[in-house]
Amino acid sequence: MARLVNGLERSLADRPAAGGSPTVVLENSSGGGGNMASTIEDMATVLDAAGARGLDGRLGVCLDTAHLWGAGYDISTPPGIDSLLLEFEERIGLARLLMIHFNDSHSALGSRHDRHAHVGDGKIGTAGMAHLLCHPALNHVTFVLETPNMEGGFDQVNMARIADLAAGRPLTPGPEMETSSKAPWATAKGPQTADPTASSGSRRSSARGGAADGLPQRGPIDHPGQPQP
């Protein structure tokens, strides 16, 4: 960890402390191969150590959903998402969450593996991902796709599926999964600098829900036939 913080300090040493200085975004890992910062607690420790070197305000966080799943965070349900965001708010503060890499995962929960999957085609499933995408506490966050085979037509499919999740529609089928679409409220199947070439979408609505348990609550969404969480 000391080497990481030393590297951050050197990287920002010749940059102005404010006004034009880039923000370095630290991404969580899945915990495999000796990678650091697979937990919210570890990321908070890194940020605290960097803050002690005068780097406060110059660092942000990117959360990768596939990495969270591999590290053991069950984000397949709305309560799992709410628990994650509450921990992040308490340990780091949601204002420092600047980006989310929005991916499903082929890996098993807690496996420490990092195998990105197309939206809705992995083990995280659609219930948790829809809740994360539409969560009012994340209106300031930029969502970035990091799904496989973007050149094979799946980039467009995943963008369509994001719109499907937000609207409560069954998912758009992919080129290799013509019969695999499922509704975004279906039960989930199973228990780091950002890539500038990935497709991204930013939600910057100023709407907020009412507060409860430390986080704004998701407002009602008209999903015909869908039980509200």
The model's pLDDT over 59-82, given as tens digits with 9 standing for 90+, comes to 999 999 999 999 999 999 999 999
| CB-based contact 162:133 (threshold 8 Å) | yes
For position 64, what pLDDT does the model report? Answer: 97
Nearest to 102 by CA among 229, 15, 222, 201: 201
Chain segment 133-154, per-residue pLDDT in tens: 999 999 999 999 999 887 777 8
> Can you give the residue ranges of every domain in the chain?
22-216
Question: DSSP secondary structure string, 32-69?
Answer: GGG-S--SHHHHHHHHHHHHHTT-TTSEEEEEEHHHHH
CATH of domain 22-216: 3.20.20.150
**This model's pTM is above 0.85:** no
DSSP 174: B
As given in the structure block, the two tokens for residue 13 are 């040493």
| CB-based contact 29:68 (threshold 8 Å) | no
Give how far the C-alpha of residue 10 lies from the chain's centroid of Cα atoms, to the nearest Å. Answer: 28
